[in-house]
Structure 1
């Protein structure tokens, strides 16, 4: 049986006790000293973690998303320290790391690749990196693969997304994608005072809501299965509250999936999301995000991730007549 109700007192406490520090776990610590340091025009810094060599992991830093390291940091220059070999680095002003310049009003994107172990390249402005031609060396071990810059586009201080893709060790086979099993709905609860967490070792795959904040909400959860065995769901952590009506895109941190959601009061009240790590045979699964789904009216909505995908993100803007979008991902 899924449980969704907390007492009114407990829920009020749940949404009012807001920590002043980050409560959502992100990527693991830097590997072997590898890190990427962002600098703004005042030379203040923010540091990004890097996936380990041979791990095959992808780290995405969507810098407008709550919970993301270096959120809203106005990057002017960048420094690379002890990066692993065959690491691909994609940087763009598009918040979702797209390179589809035909459909987006995109200012720039840059594709870099490391060609040796422990690649260290000093501070360079993003605008300076764009002066390098494809397949040229920027510094020892760092190659410009390709780039795009819109004529008349403003590059400086507009970096919005960084994607880091580590190579996979040749002797390590890529595991199959997880499938979903036994999707089931929770009981309905009042939208304006509830907190829900999927049952043990299950992951959120859908949500349904009717009417306004006094209407009903319920959630769909499922078991993930990889190589015939159920995936474990661990390290559940609630993110800091955000205002529901602000249109904020929330996405779970790198390689974490959504397991819970709570909401308090009307559209101007607080929403919190719970994210967790999925693991199988002692290995944390890789989460590969898909594109955001289309908008739907919140007041009479029902959403399910496609088969064998799991929820990692949600966005809502306005009141119950506003629109909601969801984002799903593959586990591997």
Structure 2
């Protein structure tokens, strides 16, 4: 009789373990999202310049020293989820806005991948936005933060290591203030 009870108890313990093991995959999966440094390009002048990150890269920073005739450097990054590259689906250019009164925030769950500027601070600026996809599902963009204010003519701004650029605001000429919006990326089942 003791053997029978021990066998039943052991069988119930194994069944309980099987239930716990089978329910574990149903729990939310953890995803590791990395933003790795990518392409960097310095445009010779801010005047009449158009820049777009290479395929499957997004903006992660910008550097500018001088007036509209001075060079601007753009920094791009490649996004990986669990070691696999994220696909960047670029959208259209935004409507032009006067650079000296410029304010752009990418639409929900979009990031910035390009910038197009004409003339001086009174000229138009446009941005190119993009949606991100991994395994045919859209990656979410969350937790936007604004950088410190920088003098446009003497600054470098880079996204924190786990974030990408999602907005920018600039007021005035090259002596005016510039800020960048950076956001985190999230992928859920």
| TM-score normalised by L of structure 2 | 0.81
**Match of 1:243?**
98
Q: CA RMSD in A?
A: 1.4
Q: Does 1:208 align with 2:63?
A: yes
Structure 2, unmatched stretches of 5+, are: 1-25
* C-alpha separation in 2, matches of 1:289 and 1:270: 29
- The gaps in structure 1 that reach 5 residues or longer are 1-170
* 1:183 alignment partner in structure 2: 38
Instruction: Identify if the C-alpha distance between structure 1 residues 330 and 319 changes in structure 2 by more than 3 Å, giving closer, same or farther.
Output: same
Match of 1:310 in 2: 164
Tell me, in whole angstroms, the C-alpha distance in 2 between the residues paired with 1:173 and 1:281: 16
Q: Distance in 2 between matches of 1:283 and 1:185?
A: 28
- Between 1 and 2, higher relative CO (CA 8 Å, sep ≥ 6) is seen in 2
Deviation of 1:182 after TM superposition, in Å, equals 3.0
Number of residue-to-residue matches in the alignment? 161
SS in 2 for 1:187: strand
Listed as ranges, the matches of 1:159-308 within 5 Å are: 171=26, 173=28, 175-176=30-31, 178-246=33-101, 248-308=102-162
**CA distance in structure 2 between the partners assigned to 1:281 and 1:182 by the alignment:** 22
- Distance (Å, rounded) in 1 between the aligned partners of 2:180 and 2:107: 15
Higher strand share: 2
**Displacement after TM superposition at 1:322 (Å):** 0.3
- Specify whether residues 196 and 175 from structure 1 end up closer, same or farther in structure 2 by C-alpha distance, changes over 3 A only: farther
Q: Per-residue displacement from partner, 1:210-249 (whole Å, max 9, x unpaired)? A: 1001111120001001111010001322110001111x43
Indicate the structure (1 or 2) with the bigger Cα radius of gyration.
2
Structure 1 runs, 4 residues or longer, greater than 4 Å off: none
Q: Which of residues 309, 320, 325 is equivalent to 2:174?
A: 320
